[in-house]
Amino acid sequence: MKRIVRAEEDGISLLALLKNKLKLSTRTIKVLKYRSGGLKVNGEEVTVRRVLRAGDTVELAVEDREEERAESVVPRKLPIKILYRDASITVCNKPPKMPTHPSHGHLDDTLANALAFLAAAKGIPFVFRPVNRLDSDTSGIVLTANDRISAGRMFTAMKNGEIKKTYIAIVCGVPEPMRGVVDAPIARADVGILMRTVSAEGREARTEYNTAAVSPDGKYSMVVLRPLTGRTHQIRVHMSYIGCPLVGDFLYGERSELIDRHALHAARMTFSHPEDGRSITVSAPLPDDMLALYEKLIRSSDDE
């Protein structure tokens, strides 16, 4: 990456340029400091204390290197749909029942494996940098960064609540009121390491929801949700907390014979591009299993 120092930047330190102008994360700056050839000004290796002058050429060795490739991510050709892709970011529509990243028992069937395959086909060293993560059973949009700088900027945007996400869920019952915000802190439950619960000792958690459709018998509804914070299992916990657990949610509700996962889909995401700041909105249609569930539980009831 090359950058010419502008007239208004004359006299600032390289560190100030990296942090305040280029918005690099502390982690990225640390990598550049200790990488051979990581920081150069006018072709000369420098430290972050270097005072810059207008017209100087700053070079940053931010590219992924072969030795940084995640060896555990095995390239595999898997069925994923790319919703948007450029040099900085990739946005995928993750199918249900696919983990986001490798773990014990899932070393070659994840979104990371699928993206590694696409990178390998182009001969590009692959480093998996998911900006958001979805449970294996949650389908929909996953945003990943293709380089170190974009990752730092997108992680900061996520932390600051600047990435807007919209989910669709099919739930048991009807929320009361039908539109509102669940404001209830979430903490790790006493049992196991996976389950979460609403607790006064938990971290702030808020979920905005709007009931989009209800079956005439009042047994099921489709709800549009926008998490305003980012806690583990937030939507699942909050919907269960207000008495409307997701259909098929074995952890916070009950299993269902109608769908073999919890009925939750990440349907829409809006964010600013890490390079030029333009607003990008991507959408992912409901997958077949949730569409069939909607047809059976809600639309079919409407027709009766």
Query: Would you give the DSSP letter of residue 238?
Result: H
Helices (H) and strands (E) in the chain, counts: 7, 15
Residue 139 is encoded by which pair of tokens?
A: 């389908």
Dihedral angle computed from the Cα positions of residues 250, 253, 254 and 258, in that order, rounded to the nearest 10 degrees: -90
> Which residue out of 10, 108, 109, 135 is catalytically annotated?
135
**HSE-CB of 77 using CA atoms within 13 angstroms:** 1
- Map tokens 């790319």 to a residue: 82
**d(Cα 94, Cα 139) in Å, to the nearest integer?**
5
Q: Which long-range CB contacts under 8 A does 226-230 form with residues at least 24 apart?
A: 226/164, 226/165, 226/166, 226/167, 227/165, 227/167, 228/161, 228/181, 229/161, 229/203, 229/204, 229/205, 230/132, 230/158
Q: In the annotation, is 135 catalytic?
A: yes
Q: In sequence order, which ranges of the chain are alpha helices (DSSP H)?
A: 14-16, 26-34, 111-121, 148-159, 234-241, 288-294, 300-303
Give catalytic residues, as residue numbers.
Answer: 135
